[in-house]
């Protein structure tokens, strides 16, 4: 049986995930990384996107996470993020509307602040859609 390690995902509002896992895969500033038991300790900024968790039973779970900090330690690995959603929590209609509004804003505005805000909303919507698409394939 593969070695397990403790992993937790915290948001400001809740503990999103807590349990023993075989592996996690998450995006960092310089690319994706896979973490397995006995990984060398480090801390890094995680990017908004997909978090994949291989649970105790070897099943892969996918979630949307919004930027944060990953701490890999000998006794526990913790991901602290702004928000996290599993596929069941993502409202497809809301995501599609948010994506549409962001695209419209990008076409209509020249204000840098509004452009940056719309790009962020668009990216979040696209990442949530990717999580939903991945969940459908299972």
- Report the C-alpha gap between 104 and 97 in whole angstroms: 11
pLDDT at 138: 62
- 70-73's contacts with Cβ under 8 Å and 24+ in sequence apart are 70/26, 70/28, 70/43, 70/44, 70/45, 70/46, 71/43, 72/35, 72/39, 72/40, 72/41, 72/42, 72/43, 73/41
Note the pLDDT tens digit of each residue in 69-86.
999 998 889 999 999 999
The overall average pLDDT reported for the chain is 93
Q: Which pLDDT score is estimated for 134? A: 81
């Amino acid at each position: 049986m593969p070695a397990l390690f403790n992993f937790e995902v915290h948001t400001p509002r809740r503990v999103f995930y807590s349990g023993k896992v075989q592996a996690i895969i998450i995006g960092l500033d310089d690319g994706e990384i896979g973490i397995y038991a006995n990984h060398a300790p480090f801390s890094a900024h995680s990017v908004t996107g997909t978090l994949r968790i291989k649970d105790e039973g070897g099943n892969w779970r996918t979630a949307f996470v919004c930027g944060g900090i990953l701490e890999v330690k000998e006794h526990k690995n913790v991901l602290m993020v702004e928000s996290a959603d599993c596929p069941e929590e993502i409202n497809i209609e809301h995501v599609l509307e948010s994506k549409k509004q962001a695209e419209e804003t990008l076409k209509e505005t020249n204000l840098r602040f509004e452009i940056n805000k719309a790009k962020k909303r668009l990216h979040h919507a696209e990442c949530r859609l990717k999580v939903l698409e991945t969940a459908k394939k299972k």
